[in-house]
């Protein structure tokens, strides 16, 4: 019997990952998303962006990875961290092992070195996978070590992208609001319910998180130019016109 190859191939990309071969509409959607994120978080200092949504399957991990790739395409130094330790998917989508990773560092069993942070030359990004599934991921994410590692990584990267579990399932995203410069909330076409998205927003705002926008994911678009029945998947980004602070300020002024 042939020996089992323990190293998973890096050349096994999920079809959803952004590349030069992606359709024009997908490439354009990610350029728009990248530009809007950049303008929503001005300044030269490193930025930590959280990606979350109400439920599983909305496209958080896909958007988080593709946003990272999109920043790498303009030569930004980017790391994506899989903070979904319960059901991690970043490593498998990219084609690497999810262990060891973040949880192993936070539990004190591994140092933050190249065995944890994997370089992915095909996409120009670095990845810190989730690691060994811990008994209580929330406690690890809440720890001062987690805040500390984000601060350290900010010295090395332009963008740190955190892929979170869904807000309606666990509070991990809200717990980390202090370390995150801005959250993107993924809303999936034909799937996300208005009340659940509203609840997600409410929970993040309650934790004083800055919401930088929504990504309307997986909208099928008719190819009107060719008049054919082909449809394209597209990510659609919408910035919140008013953030919570502006809204509060306006309310205060209207009362006085
Ligand atoms: N824009 C899209 N068009 C088509 N399929 C998508 C799109 N975004 C995500 N998917 C698919 O939907 C599934 C769930 O996406 P994923 O990113 O893992 O969601 P989440 O992280 O929110 O659980 C995956 O199979 C993924 O490939
Ligand atoms: Mg995910």
Do the domain assignments include residue 88? yes
Query: How much distance in Å is there from the Cα of 251 to the middle of ligand 2?
Result: 36
Do the domain assignments include residue 148? yes
Residue 254, pLDDT score: 60
Does 104 sit in the ligand 1 pocket, CB within 6 Å?
no
Query: How much distance in Å is there from the Cα of 88 to the middle of ligand 2?
Result: 6
Cis peptide before 100 (omega within 30 of 0): yes
Query: How much distance in Å is there from the Cα of 116 to the middle of ligand 1?
Result: 25
Residue 252, pLDDT score: 64
**Phi-psi bin for 135: left (phi > 0), alpha (psi -120 to 50), beta?**
alpha
Q: Are 220 and 233 in contact (CB under 8 A)?
A: yes
Q: How confident is the prediction along the chain (256 residues), in pLDDT tens digits per residue?
A: 344 444 344 434 556 899 988 889 899 999 999 999 999 999 999 999 999 999 999 999 999 999 999 999 999 999 999 999 999 999 999 999 999 999 999 999 999 999 999 999 999 999 999 999 999 999 999 999 999 999 999 999 999 999 999 998 999 999 999 999 999 999 999 999 999 999 999 999 999 999 999 999 988 765 544 443 333 344 445 545 444 555 555 566 566 5
Read off the CATH number of the domain in which 225 is found: 3.40.50.300
Q: Are 159 and 49 in contact (CB under 8 A)?
A: yes
Please report, for residues 249, 250, 251, 252, 253, the alpha-carbon distance to residue 256 in angstroms, rounded to integers and kept in the order given.
11, 10, 9, 6, 5
Domain that holds residue 228: 24-255
Does 167 sit in the ligand 1 pocket, CB within 6 Å?
no
At 71, give phi and psi (nearest 5°): -65, -40
CA dihedral for 165, 216, 89, 98, sign (positive or negative): negative
Q: Model-level pTM?
A: 0.86
Do the domain assignments include residue 18? no
Q: Are 214 and 59 in contact (CB under 8 A)?
A: no
Residue 43, pLDDT score: 94
Domain count, the chain: 1
Residue 16, pLDDT score: 82
For residues 158 and 70, what is the distance between their CA atoms, to the nearest angstrom?
Answer: 13
* Atom of ligand 1 at shortest range from CA of 89: 18
122: CB partners within 8 A, 6+ apart: 10, 11, 13
Do the domain assignments include residue 154? yes
Q: What does the pLDDT look like over 29-87, one tens digit per residue? A: 999 999 999 999 999 999 999 999 999 999 999 999 999 999 999 999 999 999 999 99
Residue 220, pLDDT score: 74
Q: Please spell the DSSP secondary structure of 109-164, one letter per residue.
A: SS-SSTTTSEEETTTTEEEE---SPPS-HHHHHHSHHHHHHHHHHTTT-SEEEEEP
CA-closest residue to ligand 1 atom 15:
59
Do the domain assignments include residue 8? no
Ligand that comes closest to the CA of residue 56:
1
For residues 172 and 179, what is the distance between their CA atoms, to the nearest angstrom?
Answer: 12
Do the domain assignments include residue 106? yes
Do the domain assignments include residue 84? yes
For residues 117 and 103, what is the distance between their CA atoms, to the nearest angstrom?
Answer: 12
* Atom of ligand 1 at shortest range from CA of 16: 27
Do the domain assignments include residue 19? no
For residues 35 and 76, what is the distance between their CA atoms, to the nearest angstrom?
Answer: 13
The burial of 232, by beta-carbon neighbours within 10 Å (0-12 exposed, 13-18 middle, 19 or more buried), is given as middle
């Amino acid at each position: 019997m042939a020996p089992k190859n323990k190293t998973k191939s890096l050349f096994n990309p999920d079809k959803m990952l952004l590349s030069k071969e992606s359709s024009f509409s997908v490439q354009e959607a990610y350029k728009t998303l990248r530009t809007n994120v950049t303008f929503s978080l001005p300044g030269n200092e490193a930025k930590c962006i959280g990606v979350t949504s109400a439920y599983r399957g909305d496209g958080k991990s896909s958007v988080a990875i593709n946003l990272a790739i999109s920043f790498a395409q303009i030569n930004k130094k980017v790391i994506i961290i899989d903070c979904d330790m319960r059901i991690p998917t970043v490593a498998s989508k990219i084609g690497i092992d999810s262990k060891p990773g973040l949880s192993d560092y936070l539990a004190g069993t591994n140092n933050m070195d190249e065995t944890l942070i994997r370089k992915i030359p095909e996409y120009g990004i670095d990845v810190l996978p989730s690691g060994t599934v811990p008994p209580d991921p929330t406690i690890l994410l809440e720890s001062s070590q987690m805040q500390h590692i984000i601060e350290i990584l900010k010295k090395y990267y332009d963008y740190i992208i955190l892929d979170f579990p869904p807000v309606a399932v666990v509070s991990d995203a809200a717990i980390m609001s202090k370390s995150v410069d801005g959250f993107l909330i993924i809303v999936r076409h034909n799937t996300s319910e208005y009340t659940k998205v509203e609840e997600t927003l409410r929970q993040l705002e309650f934790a004083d998180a800055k919401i930088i926008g929504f990504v309307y994911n997986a909208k099928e678009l008719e190819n009107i130019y060719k008049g054919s029945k082909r449809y394209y998947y597209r990510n659609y980004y919408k910035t919140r016109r008013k953030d919570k602070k502006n809204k509060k300020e306006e309310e205060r002024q209207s009362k006085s």
